[in-house]
Amino acid sequence: MAGVSLECRDCGAQLRSVEEAQEHAELKGHTNFAESTTRVLNLICTTCGKPCRSHIETDLHTKRTGHAQFADKTSEAAKPVVLESRPAAGEDEAMADAEGQKAKEELVVPEVNKDLLAELEGMGFPVARATRALYCSKGGSVEEAVNWIVEHEDDPDIDELPKVAARKAEPPKPTLTPEEAKAKAQALVEKARRKKEEEEKRAEREREKERIRIGKELLEAKRIEEDNDRKRIIALRKAEKEEEKRAREKIRQKLGEDKAERRRKLGLPPEEPKAAADAVPLVVEPFEKEAKKSTLPVRPATKAEQMRDCLRSIKQTYKEDDAKVKRTFQTLLTYIGNIARLPSEEKFRKIRLTNASFQERVGNIEGGIRFLELCGFERDETGEFIILSHGKIDLILLNTAGAELNSAISNPFFGVL
């Protein structure tokens, strides 16, 4: 297969054309290039059209822009490498002069490893063939030279000595004084240090952008979670109001049935609804009113109200030490939040009562353990632990407890009035 790219033997970079190889040589100072049958990747971003030449470039592009779809145009862009560059207009004469000058240069047989040449001669290979094989295979080893001979044994010039232009004596490099050498070394060190600082700044900017992005995502997730908690609390309170309404209706209905039963026992006719509505209310003495009030069933306090009263009692008991109260509320919120987030984790549902940190933050606070009991915690048989068993986990109740704690922490007037 014809070469479709040039490979830099110094760093391994794949280049599409001679022009790219020349630019690479000028930038990097590399001069060892060879034809390669490996195509240079041409991956086009389907979103913005940016071309990428490697999977590393596609990964970086995806990280910066979020674009992840790329079209592979490698086969369309791959073209055979033309090693003979075409002269630009007006350069024909200069190239002709250069070629004439090159033709006048003396051609000599290149030097090869004498030991390897003698070994190949000992194998029976002609001197010209062995010399050409060692020169073309870079003189690495006898095995490489033999492989080259096998691959090129049909070449018409295989038994001709290779010719190369004689090397001109390079002018001696000017020697530097100790002061100049020290100054040059210092300049190189400063250049390397500046390059490193620029790379560190660029990496820091990338990290800062990543931190900002993650922060925005966390804030958005927190906002969504707060909205969901607010909706759950609203739904819970609505359900409580409906339950209270149904309970009042049952009580009213029961009172009506009892009243009708008493009239029936006294032999009185059933009371007509309209007459009952138009009846003039009787004047009742205060003590009789109190007696009637005492006979009505009292609506039991809901768990939310009990929790609120418990937190209000803690706030009023330790009103002189606001920091202690806030720390207790936050500790209780942490316990409740861990269970609501991971209800299957037993370690969050089992608290040692003798734990020093627990005693300081909750255990020694009057009403702290009571609040946990309202959330479903119970003491075990030994009395050493307070446990919320898996079967008694009520996520709605835990959410209610979290809402009450949040309100107690964020409301500066909680428990004051």
What span, in angstroms and rounded, lies between the C-alpha atoms of 145 and 171?
34
Report the CATH architecture of 105-165: Orthogonal Bundle (1.10)
Q: What are the residue ranges of CATH 1.20.58.2190 in the chain?
A: 303-410
Mean pLDDT of 165-189: 72
Most confident of 49-63, 174-188, 377-391: 377-391
Architecture of domain 303-410 in this structure: Up-down Bundle (1.20)
Residue with tokens 């059933």: 270
What sign does the dihedral 1-161-170-139 (CA atoms) show? positive
pLDDT score of 413: 75
The pLDDT of residue 391? 86
CA distance 95 to 92: 5
Q: What is the pLDDT of residue 172?
A: 62
Q: How many C-beta atoms lie closer than 10 Å to residue 128's C-beta?
A: 15
Comparing 18 with 70, the larger pLDDT belongs to 70
Residue 139, pLDDT score: 62
Task: Give me the pLDDT at residue 288, please.
Answer: 45
Mean pLDDT for 99-104 is 57
In whole angstroms, what is the distance from residue 292 CA to residue 255 CA?
12
* Contacts of 346 by beta carbon, 8 Å cutoff, 6+ apart: 390
Residue 333 tokens read as: 């919120």
Instruction: Quote the CA–CA distance of 386 and 339 in Å, as a whole number.
Output: 14
Q: What are phi and psi of 81, to 5 degrees?
A: -75, 130
One DSSP character per residue, 309-346 reads HHHHHHHHHTTT-HHHHHHHHHHHHHHHHHHHH-TT-G
Which two tokens mark 198? Answer: 């620029």
Mean pLDDT of 138-153: 81
* Domain ranges in the chain with CATH number 1.10.8.10: 105-165
What is the dihedral sign for C-alpha 313, 317, 322, 324? negative
Distance between CA atoms of residues 128 and 402, nearest Å: 92
Least confident of 9-18, 118-127, 342-351, 359-368: 9-18
Share of the chain above pLDDT 90, in %: 16
| DSSP symbols for 366-414 | TTHHHHHHHTT-EE-TTSSEEE--GGG--HHHHHHHHHHHHHHHH-TTT
pTM of the model: 0.32
More confident residue, 139 or 18: 18
- pLDDT tens sequence across 300-326: 678 888 989 999 899 888 988 889 889
As a whole number, mean pLDDT of residues 177-187 equals 79
Q: Can you give the pLDDT at residue 148?
A: 84
Look at residue 292 in the predicted model and tell me its pLDDT: 47
User: What residues have CB less than 8 Å from 353, skipping those under 6 apart?
Assistant: 359, 363, 369, 379, 383, 384, 385, 386
Stretch among 14-28, 31-45, 273-287 having the lowest mean pLDDT: 273-287
Lowest mean pLDDT among 34-43, 240-249, 399-408: 34-43
- Structure confidence at residue 291 (pLDDT): 43
Residue 233: is its pLDDT beyond 70? yes
Min mean pLDDT across 154-158, 185-189, 256-260, 287-291 is at 287-291
Output b/e per residue, 251-290; b: 16+ Cβ within 10 A. eeeeeeeeeeeeeeeeeeeeeeeeeeeeeeeeeeeeeeee
pLDDT in tens, 334-369: 999 999 999 888 889 989 988 999 998 998 888 889
Residue 104 scores a pLDDT above 60: no
Question: Is the model's pLDDT at 203 over the cut of 90?
Answer: yes
324 contact partners, CB below 8 Å, separation of at least 6: 318, 365
Q: Predicted confidence band at 390 (pLDDT cuts at 50, 70, 90)? A: confident
What would the pLDDT profile of 51-95 be if each residue is shown by its tens digit?
A: 887 788 888 888 888 888 888 887 776 677 666 555 554 555 656
Q: What is the pLDDT of residues 260-286, one digit of tens each?
A: 888 788 777 777 665 444 444 444 444
Is the per-residue pLDDT at 3 higher than 80? no
* Helix, coil or strand: residue 204: helix
Cα–Cα distance for residue pair 194/188, rounded to 1 Å: 10
The Cα 269–Cα 255 span in angstroms is: 17
The top-scoring range by mean pLDDT among 81-90, 159-168, 243-252 is 243-252
